[in-house]
Amino acid sequence: MRISIFGLGYVGAVSAGCLANEGHEVVGVDPNETKVGLINSGRSPVVEKDIDRLIEKAVSKGLLRATQDAEEAVLASDMSLICVGTPSQSNGNLDLKFVRRVCEEIGTALQNKDDFHVVVVRSTMLPGSMRSIVIPTLEEYSGKQAGTDFGVCNNPEFLREGTAVYDYYHPPKIVIGETDAKAGDLLVNIYDRLDAPLIRTSIETAEMVKYADNVWHALKVGFANEIGNICKAVGIDGHEVMEIFCQDRKLNLSPCYLKPGFAFGGSCLPKDVRALTYKAKSLDLDVPILNAIMPSNQRQIEKGLSMITEKGRKKIGILGFSFKAGTDDLRESPLVEIIERLIGKGYDVRIYDRNVKIASLIGANRDYILNHISHISKLMVDDIDAVLQHADVIVIGNTSEEFRDVPKMISDGQVIIDLVRIVDRSSAGNYDGICW
């Protein structure tokens, strides 16, 4: 395929060298005359392991060249990759002036091109940037329509400086956000030799995935450092602790606990977060990440409560209020706090949880249910139907299998607030998910 690459920094230079060595005809575009000259002389404009060799080889074979002429590059290619920088502004927002400028250049060039051309953004941009800046700019300057006259994709890169060439050939995943299937199909072709999961999604999801990745990586560094600082203060080797931590691939390094939803509760997590942060405080250690966990969890409880009260209905039904499905444990259940606050505000509440109902008769939580939250236990009913017959707003509080058909059981006028994603998704106006 013939590919033009706008921006010859780390991402652009590595992409150019690797794509050319895959046999594609690549032309790099950059306003910097020095970078263009380095590419054309077979040298890399960036310091990166192995890229010098790849660029020299590609240039010698006639598969890679560079230019300052954007229109010439677009007319000589089938696809353009935008790899320009998106630096921070003083307020933390992104400065997208380079992206906008390149889109103006590509759009202008597309006026003189009849063939279907695909514009692929690899630069890191906040969700909504493709719709608000990239596509409108391309359409304005080309006089053509995205998705019909030309294609647009978002294709985030997952390259680390120092190992970028290796990462290009061994990506953790390939994510393609597309405006139309034709554009996505053409972009998929340039990755057909790479062994990695291929995900095709919306352009907004693709934009957000990159941020989720990078912020998660930053959080991991900060978390490890705070654990390490506590370890050092109590005479423990932090590296040994985290090496043992990382051997757990079932819970620690896994998808577990990484699904957006409601707040955590139970007998372990709240207690142990508080204990460790108290220990850090007693050692005069500042651990802002660890200290933020409980306030963050409380914000999710507040969000759940607001979703209920904002519906403007007084009759509320709660399905599941143990802290997770399959248990009768109510210790620090965030649903208990929600229920108590609703009662205090004068809402008419009915509650059903099969496991808690059994526990109130014979379980280990019997004393807690009957003596500590007796005001709540009096609101419990015997089955789902009793909740549905009472409530205008139905809150699904845990993932018990018996709640899966509830979205199909409600009548007109009733609203579901789903705190656990009991169904994959619903576009119905009477359904509201907490993080989706």
237 annotated to bind ligand: no
48 annotated to bind ligand: no
**Residue the block writes with tokens 């403007």:** 312
413: Cα separation from own chain's centroid: 33
Return all residues near 60 (Cβ < 8 A) that are at least 6 apart.
Answer: 42
Return all residues near 115 (Cβ < 8 A) that are at least 6 apart.
Answer: 78
Residue 199 DSSP SS3:
strand
210 annotated to bind ligand: yes
327 annotated to bind ligand: no
Amino acid type, 144? K
159 annotated to bind ligand: yes
Taking the C-alpha atoms of residue 29 and residue 119, their distance in angstroms, rounded to an integer, is 14
Structure-token pair, residue 52: 């010098």
232 annotated to bind ligand: no
The sign of the CA dihedral 410, 413, 418, 421 is positive
Closest Cα to residue 106, out of 118, 97, 95, 94? 118
**Residue the block writes with tokens 């590419």:** 39
348-352: strand order across its sheet: 348-352, 315-319, 393-396, 415-418, 431-433
86 annotated to bind ligand: yes
**Residue the block writes with tokens 């921070």:** 88
Taking the C-alpha atoms of residue 104 and residue 96, their distance in angstroms, rounded to an integer, is 12
Q: Are strands 25-29 and 2-6 parallel, antiparallel or unpaired?
A: parallel
30 annotated to bind ligand: yes
CB 71 within 8 A of CB 108: yes
Structure-token pair, residue 141: 């300057």
CB 20 within 8 A of CB 54: yes
The sign of the CA dihedral 123, 126, 131, 136 is negative
Residue 135 DSSP SS3:
helix
Whether 268 is catalytic is yes
259 annotated to bind ligand: yes
35 annotated to bind ligand: yes
Taking the C-alpha atoms of residue 113 and residue 336, their distance in angstroms, rounded to an integer, is 63
Spot the catalytic one: 18, 153, 231, 268: 268
Q: Are strands 117-121 and 25-29 parallel, antiparallel or unpaired?
A: unpaired
Residue 231 DSSP SS3:
helix
378 annotated to bind ligand: no
Backbone φ/ψ region at 23: left (φ over 0), alpha (ψ -120 to 50), beta: left
194 annotated to bind ligand: no
81 annotated to bind ligand: no
137 annotated to bind ligand: no
Tell me which DSSP letter residue 401 carries.
G
CB 210 within 8 A of CB 203: no
331 annotated to bind ligand: yes
124 annotated to bind ligand: yes
CB 416 within 8 A of CB 432: yes
Binding site per annotation, positions for NAD(+): 30, 35, 86, 124, 161, 271, 331
Residues tagged active-site: 268
Binding site per annotation, positions: 30, 35, 86, 124, 158-161, 210, 257-261, 265, 271, 324, 331
Binding site per annotation, positions for substrate: 158-161, 210, 257-261, 265, 324
